[in-house]
Structure 1
Amino acid sequence: MTTRAILAGPDHEGLGAALEAEGIDVERVDGILTASVLDDADVAEADLFVLTDLDEATAISVVKERNSDVQIVVYSHDSLPEFARGQTDLAMDPDLFGVDMVAEELA
C-alpha cells in the first residue's frame, strides 16, 4: 500500500520531491487551507499531512477532525503555535533536518 501525503504550503526546500523519491504519493496544496480545499485534496484518506506554512496552522484541527489517524508533520523555520502543539506528531526545523532525512523517516 502506498503512503499518501498532503504537502500544504510552499516547498522551498524540496521536501515534496524527496517524499516522492521515497515512494510516497504527494498531493500539494497551497494558499488558504479551508475545509473545502482540504476535502478536495482528500485529507480523509491521507496518511501524512505535512504543513510548511504556520500561518495556516489552524488547518491542523480541520485535518484531525476529518482524519483522526493522519500523522501531522510540521516542517518550518517558524514556531508552532501553542494551540496546534497537542495535535502535531512531529515538528522539524529545515535548518536542523534536511529533506532527505525527513523523507526517509516518514517513509
Structure 2
Amino acid sequence: MRAVLAGGDGDGLGDALAAEGVEVTRAEGTGARPDLEEAGIVDADVLVLTEMHLATSIPVAKDLNPEVRVVVYAHGSLPEFAKGQAGHILDPELLDPAFVAEEVAGTAA
C-alpha cells in the first residue's frame, strides 16, 4: 500500500503508517498539483491530509487519481467543499496515530 502524506506530521501518523508496512511519501510545500505528482499521488492508494488549510489538495489529488482514498487526520474543521471527497475525517485528539495507521493499512485485528 502506498500513501501520500500532505502537511506537517506533528502527531506522528507517517511513522505509524510506515510501522504498519505502508510506503509513505510526503507532498512537500502546499500540496499543490506539482507537489502531489512528485510525491506519487497518481499511483497512491491513500492521500493523508494532516493540515486543514491544505484542503484544496483533496480535489487536485482526486483529479489526478480518482480512486485514491482520502483520510484527513487533522485538528480543526474541514471546509465544506472538501468534505464530500474525504473518506474519513479523524481528530487526533480522539484517535491515536497507531490506531489510525492500523485502520488505513487494513491490519487492525
Write out per-residue CA displacement over residues 14-66 of structure 1, whole angstroms, 9 at most, x where no aligned residue: 10110000000000123212111111112110000000111110110000001
Aligned twin of 1:85: 83
Q: Which amino acid aligns with 1:22?
A: E
Q: Is the 8 A contact 2:52 2:78 kept in 1?
A: yes
Q: Which amino acid aligns with 1:86?
A: G
**Distance in 2, Cα, partners of 1:99 & 1:30:** 21
Aligned CA-pair RMSD: 0.7
Aligned twin of 1:104: 102
Q: Give SS of 1:5's match.
A: strand
Q: Is the 8 A contact 1:10 1:30 kept in 2?
A: no
Alignment of 1:59-98 (within 5 A): 59-98=57-96
Question: Unmatched 5+ residue regions in structure 2?
Answer: none
Q: Is the 8 A contact 2:27 2:38 kept in 1?
A: no
Alignment of 1:9-88 (within 5 A): 9-88=7-86
Question: Unmatched 5+ residue regions in structure 1?
Answer: none
- Of all paired residues, the percent bearing the same amino acid is 49
Q: Which amino acid aligns with 2:34?
A: S
Give the TM-score normalised by structure 1: 0.95
Q: Which amino acid aligns with 1:60?
A: I
Write out per-residue CA displacement over residues 54-95 of structure 1, whole angstroms, 9 at most, x where no aligned residue: 111011000000101110000011101000001000000000
